[in-house]
Structure 1
Amino acid sequence: MTVTKETLIGEILREDQSTAPYFFEMGMHCLGCPSSTMESLEEACMVHGVPVEPLVEKLNSHMTK
């Protein structure tokens, strides 16, 4: 899976649950919330005030290991 800023958080977590700490790092602690899993990575980053591109890079690096 290749993560983009449009990828839904729920898709990322379904593909690899070990990505959860990356979301916790950005202040997103409500991963079980139905609405959070339907947000795109870009939307979640905007809400939490963090840049999306570094997170996309971290997730893709993690998921290709």
Structure 2
Amino acid sequence: MKKVTEDMTIAEVLKMDREVAGIFMKYGLHCLGCPGATMESISDAGNVHGIDVSLLIADLNKHFESN
């Protein structure tokens, strides 16, 4: 089973399954193709955008658990 962690980049998770784009967008992370998506961790992106990263990670992992 695939597991998402806070230290992964958005791009890494998108490579695992493009369908998670909607989850990132739900949390206000709309720039999925920008350079930051390939360089900064989900934790860093969440902190910059004021997102509860633990909720985002939980939703992402729920997605992968159901597939």
TM-score by length of 2: 0.87
Q: How far 1:27 moved relative to its partner?
A: 1.3
Aligned counterpart, 1:4: 5
Q: In angstroms, what is the RMSD of aligned CA positions?
A: 1.0
Q: How does 1:1-65 map to 2 (within 5 A)?
A: 1-65=2-66
Deviations 1:32-62 (A, max 9, x none): 1122222211011101101111111110010
Over 4 Å off, 4+ runs: none
Residues 45, 52 of structure 1: 8 Å contact kept: yes
Q: How many residues align?
A: 65
TM-score by length of 1: 0.89
Q: Structure 1: 5+ residue runs without aligned partners?
A: none
Report the identity percentage: 43
